[in-house]
Structure 1
Amino acid sequence: MVWIQLAVVLAFIFLGARLGSIGIGFAGGVGVLVLSLGLGMTPGGIPIDVILIIMAVIGAVAAMQVAGGLDYLVQQAERVLRSKPKQITILAPIVTYVMTLLAGTGHTAYSTLPVIAEVAKENGVRPSRPLSISVIASQIAITASPVSAAVVVFSGMLEPFGIGYLDLLMVVIPTTFAACILTAFVCNFLGLDLEKDPVYQDRLAKGLIKTRESRTYDIKPGARLSVLIFALTIVAVVIYATLISDKVGIIEHPVLPRNEAIMVFMLTAATLITLCTKIDASSILNAQTFRSGMSACVCVLGVAWLGNTFVAGHIDQIKLVAGELLEGYPWLLAVALFFASMLLYSQAATTRALMPAALALVDPVTAIASFAAVGALFVLPTYPTLLAAVEMDETGSTRIGKLVFNHSFFVPGMIAIVLSVALGFLVAPMVL
């Protein structure tokens, strides 16, 4: 029966992957239906905390986008990229990493991918090099963002072990950032140089490669103010979460717990941005980041619920089988998280589904060191930012091969994940 139930989980995950976008969440819900009413399993816990955090953060990000804040950030990013265009493979992932770190969502990368592709092409750099690592950086940065649902939920799981929110950030931010930069150096040597690429030469001969003029930005009056409000809110979140942590203990018995505080702070930021920049609140509903974020909520609801149902139903068997393996080879936790995130398609969903069981089997240091592996959303070439990068590279250097895994993002993603985990095992014991 266990294998039948696992087959159901995998079948509906693959169905969701075929449907794409919000369909992943829909298919996950059907999987819960089959497991519960069809096979008699008790439905697992709904990841309500994850969904609510995503909703609150995305609301503030979308308000900032409508106020022109994202355009302002992209304008600054383009200035950085064009200041040293030959170094774009190194600079581009820094830009997408920082934007994701601040916003708590990798969907901010959409706005910078066209700039990265154009600057690379203009300067004879193979666009697949900066584009691939930029997408990977935007996915891995979720595991280091102070306001991402994955980090917030994971930090809550670590509190009973005496590890605070700030402790987690002190490990994951430097290790994932360093891993992305090191991978970027490697990406400089991946693939043929642009002038030697036969696909590019063929497109060039057919006149399919066009020279575009530099983008012009119509920065709204309240754009800078919206960015300032959002940035100060992130600082407030980190300070408050630190003050109420058991380790610091300056605020004992807080009236407002950490998860709820992040939601309240982000909703407050959205309110202040709306009021101070005088934007139409109804227009926030049409913002691209809002639509992507709400789609992510449905995906987390369906897929994480499906994963939780299976894991909770077999937690004793999982502990029995995995306990001995992890005791001897703790790094196998990273492997498990890697494959789970590849299927669950969400860092937060993977964290919510597997980390409670993981923390019952391994020490917190191992769990933190392995945490970056939940960012393996690049393995199947169907993730939105990955597809967007392919679409925006008119040179054809960023592509998806005929086989499932031979795409431009697989090697950079694998290198970045391995380095993040390796650095995590090195740094975590020194910090904690």
Structure 2
Amino acid sequence: MDISLLLQLAVLLGAIFLGVRLGGLAIGYTGGLGVAVLALALGMEPGKVPYDVILIIMAVISAIAALQLAGGLDYLVRAAERLLRRNPKNINFLAPTVTYFLTILAGTGHTAFSMMPVIVEVAKSENIRPSAPLSIAVVASQIAITASPVSAAVVFMSGVLEPLGVSYPKLLLVWLVTTYAACMLVALLINLFGNLDLSKSKAYQQRLAEGLVQPHNMGEREALPAGARKSVWIFFGGVVAVVLYACAISPAVGLIKEPVLPRDGAIISFMMIIASLIVMCCKLDTGKLLDMSTFKSGMAACVCVLGVAWLGDTFVSGHIDAVKETASALVGNYPWLLAVALFFASMLLYS
């Protein structure tokens, strides 16, 4: 390993570490700083900016912001909450199911945040440690991104695998079945072997005795806007349209042999159509869209993806031959290492 590689690796890890220490948008800022140092000081060729990933995130988040302003997101969360409260004993299975399908529909794991207080309260009511359903629910909300038809991850992977003969409909079916089954399997293991008895937690009992644990007070909720339910149906219809179009242009289906819009372009345009319909049908004040929490967090994610993914691609592209040689040798002898390699590659390039 020569000195230049060590310096490049130090810049990569140093930029990421600095961004994590500063927090928030800084991880994106320092990613751009790292690219500048690698290119200008160490002579590396800048990598590709992940425009497709960023644009898909922007389009989906824009539609979700309209859904949130119309009250549709609250409508979905309240429906999921009713499901959890009606079946509290099955919280370890229902919590990940709810967050999983919210992400499938929305294409982002940000929707899971709204469910966390509900999961905690329902778990406490059944004397279950909240950490059990919370942990699997958070994992499920992120794994579902790899099976959501409106996520950048699915578009990217389908673009890579379809030329190899694996059709989009088959990929989507495999991802939906395997990811959800994996979440339920982990939930089963937690249910069977986890330490779930909240009454045996000394720390919780001490806080309870000191009066530091207060029951959650739902209080009076504001009525949902008149167009809340309508916005959900518009959004759901748009997601279905994305799936149908993506399947129609798949070579395995062949209904549209020469598509004008590629799959990523279709998602972007369909999400814009969804946002337009929600704004018009629900008569939204568009000036308030910028204030939505989903919009702010989504745009922050775009900045982070821009910096970190660009930095990671710059480093990996500069050493792609060595990476391929090392990876092929290791995977040839130890096939299970492919999962580890893909994990770290995704973390550097697309996270």
For the criterion TM > 0.5, the same-fold answer is yes
Give the Å deviation of 1:170.
1.2
Confirm whether residue 280 of structure 1 aligns to residue 285 of structure 2: yes
Cα distance between partner residues in 2 of 1:193 and 1:127: 10
Instruction: Name 2:129's counterpart in structure 1.
Output: 126
Instruction: Name 2:18's counterpart in structure 1.
Output: 15
Give the Å deviation of 1:11.
1.5
Instruction: Name 2:298's counterpart in structure 1.
Output: 293
Instruction: Name 2:267's counterpart in structure 1.
Output: 262
Cα distance between partner residues in 2 of 1:69 and 1:168: 29
Alpha-carbon contact 1:144-1:172 (below 8 Å) kept:
yes
Matched ranges for 1:100-249 at <5 A: 100-188=103-191, 189-191=193-195, 193-214=197-218, 216=221, 218-249=223-254
Cα distance between partner residues in 2 of 1:33 and 1:199: 48
Alpha-carbon contact 2:128-2:196 (below 8 Å) kept:
no
Give the Å deviation of 1:164.
2.5
Percent of counterpart pairs with the same letter? 60
Look up the equivalent residue of 2:157 and give its one-letter code.
Answer: F
Cα distance between partner residues in 2 of 1:87 and 1:190: 14
Instruction: Name 1:271's counterpart in structure 2.
Output: 276
Give the Å deviation of 1:78.
0.9
Q: Secondary structure of the residue that 2:350 maps to in structure 1?
A: helix
Q: Secondary structure of the residue that 1:303 maps to in structure 2?
A: helix
Cα distance between partner residues in 1 of 2:243 and 2:52: 18
Cα distance between partner residues in 2 of 1:227 and 1:55: 19
Residues 169-188 of structure 1: CA deviation (Å, up to 9, x unaligned): 11111111011111112223
Q: 1:335 to 1:217 in 2, by over 3 A?
A: farther
Alpha-carbon contact 1:92-1:130 (below 8 Å) kept:
yes
Give the Å deviation of 1:255.
1.2
Alpha-carbon contact 2:103-2:112 (below 8 Å) kept:
yes
Residues 386-410 of structure 1: CA deviation (Å, up to 9, x unaligned): xxxxxxxxxxxxxxxxxxxxxxxxx
Give the Å deviation of 1:192.
5.3
Cα distance between partner residues in 2 of 1:72 and 1:200: 32
Look up the equivalent residue of 2:108 and give its one-letter code.
Answer: T
Cα distance between partner residues in 2 of 1:286 and 1:337: 36
Look up the equivalent residue of 1:292 and give its one-letter code.
Answer: S
Confirm whether residue 336 of structure 1 aligns to residue 341 of structure 2: yes
Alpha-carbon contact 1:65-1:287 (below 8 Å) kept:
yes
Residues 87-110 of structure 1: CA deviation (Å, up to 9, x unaligned): 111100000000001100000011
CA RMSD, 1 decimal: 1.4
Cα distance between partner residues in 1 of 2:181 and 2:284: 38
Give the Å deviation of 1:326.
1.6
Alpha-carbon contact 1:75-1:217 (below 8 Å) kept:
no
Alpha-carbon contact 2:77-2:115 (below 8 Å) kept:
yes
Cα distance between partner residues in 2 of 1:157 and 1:177: 23
Match of 1:25 among 25, 28, 33: 28
Give the Å deviation of 1:211.
1.1
Structure with higher Rg: it is: 2
Cα distance between partner residues in 2 of 1:3 and 1:78: 51
Look up the equivalent residue of 1:335 and give its one-letter code.
Answer: V
Instruction: Name 1:366's counterpart in structure 2.
Output: none
Deviation above 4 Å: which 4+ runs of structure 1? none
Look up the equivalent residue of 1:265 and give its one-letter code.
Answer: F
Instruction: Name 1:302's counterpart in structure 2.
Output: 307
Residues 32-81 of structure 1: CA deviation (Å, up to 9, x unaligned): 11111111100000000000000000111111011000110011111100
- The TM-score, its normalising length taken from structure 1, stands at 0.78
Residues 223-244 of structure 1: CA deviation (Å, up to 9, x unaligned): 1111101111111001101111
Matched ranges for 1:373-388 at <5 A: none
5+ residue gaps in structure 2?
none
Alpha-carbon contact 2:158-2:168 (below 8 Å) kept:
yes
Moved more, 112-121 or 260-269: 112-121
Cα distance between partner residues in 2 of 1:328 and 1:170: 30
Look up the equivalent residue of 2:54 and give its one-letter code.
Answer: I
Cα distance between partner residues in 1 of 2:46 and 2:299: 23
Give the Å deviation of 1:217.
5.2
- The TM-score, its normalising length taken from structure 2, stands at 0.95
Q: Secondary structure of the residue that 1:195 maps to in structure 2?
A: helix
Alpha-carbon contact 1:71-1:217 (below 8 Å) kept:
no
Cα distance between partner residues in 1 of 2:46 and 2:326: 22
Look up the equivalent residue of 1:119 and give its one-letter code.
Answer: V
Instruction: Name 1:349's counterpart in structure 2.
Output: 350
Residues 260-305 of structure 1: CA deviation (Å, up to 9, x unaligned): 1110000000000000001111211111111111011001100000
Cα distance between partner residues in 2 of 1:30 and 1:191: 45
Cα distance between partner residues in 1 of 2:76 and 2:196: 32
Cα distance between partner residues in 1 of 2:101 and 2:298: 18
Cα distance between partner residues in 2 of 1:88 and 1:276: 36
Cα distance between partner residues in 1 of 2:222 and 2:327: 53
Matched ranges for 1:30-45 at <5 A: 30-45=33-48
Alpha-carbon contact 1:164-1:246 (below 8 Å) kept:
yes
Cα distance between partner residues in 1 of 2:200 and 2:121: 18
Cα distance between partner residues in 2 of 1:331 and 1:311: 21
